[in-house]
Amino acid sequence: MASTRRALPHRYRLSAGPRRRGWFMSVHTYEELAALHAIAKILAQPWELRDQLEGVLGEMSRRLGMQRGMIALLDRDSGEAWLEVAHGVNIDGREITYRPGEGITGKVAQTGRPVAIPNLGKEEFFLDRTGARRALNRDELSFLCVPITYEDRVVGILSADKWHKNVKSLDGELLIMSAVAELIAKAVHILALEEENRRLRHLVNQGKSPSASIIGHSKAMQEVFGLIRHVADSGTTVLIVGETGTGKELVARAIHENSPRRKGPLIQVNCAALPDTLIESELFGFEKGAFTGAVQRHRGRFEEAHGGTIFLDEVSELSAAAQAKLLRVLQERQFQPLGSSRLVKTDVRVIGATNRPLEEAIAAGRFRSDLYYRLSVFPIYLPPLRERGNDIILLADHFLLKYAKELGKPVKKISPAVIEAFLSHPWPGNVRELENCMERAVLLADSDTVETSHLPPSLQTRGREEEGKEGGLLSTVVKAQERSLIIDALREARGNQSEAARILGTTKRIIQYRIKKMGIDAAAFKAPKDRHPA
């Protein structure tokens, strides 16, 4: 027995180029063209995307006889589809999803091919997960489902049912549905991006991060979160390595707050801000009369941190004398205050941080190798913002909400042009630069949306350049994802480009070309022992 499902024949597939206009006119009726014109006018309105798409489904019902229409969005990573917009179906407050290949919607999402069912009552794969057709005679309904494709990638699914008696040709119905899908593709693509970012924020807020202050869903940050959870319960010394502005202080605080020492003090010391002559006395304290001006005994930071954690930021800036004393503290858990013969025992966990490779300081004779090995018992590498893909948008959203509330501004959204500029920017100042950028943007915004005109001049220029580039937002996002994949492979392969090529299923030559073009430093992902000077 032949299947009751129909796929769109090859001759009906929408083609690109100059021939489309004449071909389009020859296969659509006047009523269908009028419906497409009405839908195009709706999409040209300055409405919210969801309102536009609801209006499109309403026009399909009024002009094309589609009884119940739905638009599902596709998750790029999981392939899962979730219903987002509907007409004639109540999905308010409900999370209705389809795994790849599950039901008709999941099958169309997985294959990218349209499906037409002439008799819904005889279709075993129809799930009716919304329950909208339970009280209806399904034998009287036909069901149509087509993919929504944007730049050769399925971004959503458009489906509707129609009274069987009003269906003259299933192929014709699929054709008009596919034409509507083509018109709404860009709007669905942008809505899918917005919803995906909202879902990522929701996942982050569910406790994926060990601290509410650390936001990230990229693979690199998930690895950081895992390392924090592994080391927090122990008393192991930690060395956090990352560029300026990546959030090393937040990671140190997260380790402390998730440790058994959480009730003890967290003492922070910026070693770079202390002169060489004061570092030793600040860390270990001094006795009265130890030097001119020492009129009374002073407790050092290590003594203050007893029972808790001390965070030594920019530890590479410690003087040689302070390095020797710090090594003794790590080895013996005791120290001598300046000008004193007494030994002070300390129960403190040490977390160090540096924005430059300590191996280079060792090679230059500025840092003790034995202290390095004591500090880097458990190293944590914090990736720069440019290697974190869509985390950039997550963080931008977080800062937007934060400063909109602080400044009392009704700003709620970031425009697609700003998203493109953010994903293309190298962020030399990392998260700190992004936060400053968003604070400025919210302050300047005179509507509910952050536009490129609200960004610093360097980002405004980049935003205008990106607006003129072919591919737009999708191209930018794809490039960011490609960079993230290559970085993840290099990290897994410890900087070995041949192994990274094998992981990604490509050639070493292609990987080398992409690494060079994207300005990725492959050597940065080698294991410390591989980078250690001979």
The answer to whether residues 377 and 458 belong to one domain is no
The answer to whether residues 282 and 357 belong to one domain is yes
Left if phi > 0, otherwise alpha if psi is -120 to 50, otherwise beta: which for 172?
alpha
Give the Cα separation of 260 and 256 in Å (integer): 8
Residue 206 within any structural domain of the chain: no
8 A C-beta contact, residue 258 and residue 229? yes
CA distances from 350 to 230, 307, 311, 327 (A): 16, 11, 6, 11
The answer to whether residues 271 and 350 belong to one domain is yes
The CATH number of residue 124's host domain is 3.30.450.40
CA 85 to chain centre: 24
- Which of these, 406, 404, 428, 429, lies nearest to 414 by C-alpha position? 404
Please tell me the total count of domains within the chain: 3
pLDDT tens, the chain, 534 aa long? 444 444 444 333 333 333 343 334 446 777 888 888 999 888 888 888 888 899 999 999 999 999 889 999 988 767 888 888 999 888 877 788 888 888 899 999 999 999 999 988 888 788 888 888 877 888 899 999 999 998 888 999 999 999 989 988 888 899 999 999 999 998 888 888 777 666 655 554 444 567 667 888 788 888 899 899 889 988 899 999 999 999 999 999 999 999 999 999 999 999 888 777 777 788 888 777 666 666 677 788 888 999 999 999 999 988 888 888 888 888 888 877 777 777 888 889 999 999 988 888 899 999 999 999 999 899 999 999 988 887 888 899 899 999 999 999 999 888 888 887 888 888 999 999 999 999 999 999 999 999 989 998 878 765 445 444 444 555 555 666 677 778 888 888 888 888 888 888 777 777 887 887 777 888 777 755 444 433
Sheet arrangement for strand 141-150: 97-98, 81-87, 68-74, 153-163, 141-150, 115-117
CA atoms within 13 A on the CB side of 521: 7
The answer to whether residues 67 and 180 belong to one domain is yes
The CATH number of residue 506's host domain is 1.10.8.60
**Domain ends where: 165, 200, 235?**
200
The answer to whether residues 247 and 341 belong to one domain is yes
Residue 211 within any structural domain of the chain: no
The answer to whether residues 108 and 167 belong to one domain is yes
Residue 516's contacts (CB-CB under 8 Å, 6 or more residues apart) are none
Residue 457's contacts (CB-CB under 8 Å, 6 or more residues apart) are none
The answer to whether residues 268 and 370 belong to one domain is yes
The answer to whether residues 331 and 256 belong to one domain is yes
- Full residue range of the structural domain in which residue 371 is found: 219-381
The answer to whether residues 188 and 50 belong to one domain is yes
The CATH number of residue 243's host domain is 3.40.50.300
Residue 418 within any structural domain of the chain: yes
Structure tokens belonging to residue 127 = 């799930």
**Domain ends where: 349, 381, 413?**
381
Residue 516 within any structural domain of the chain: yes
The pLDDT value given to residue 192: 81
Task: Give the DSSP H or E segment for 132.
Answer: none
Residue 59 within any structural domain of the chain: yes
State the virtual CA torsion across 173, 174, 176, 180 in degrees, nearest 10.
Answer: 130
**Domain ends where: 356, 381, 406?**
381
Residue 188 within any structural domain of the chain: yes
Residue 442 within any structural domain of the chain: yes
The answer to whether residues 234 and 275 belong to one domain is yes
Give strand pairing partners of 427.
Answer: none
Give the Cα separation of 483 and 38 in Å (integer): 41
The answer to whether residues 426 and 339 belong to one domain is no
CA 362 to chain centre: 36
Residue 3 within any structural domain of the chain: no
The answer to whether residues 460 and 321 belong to one domain is no
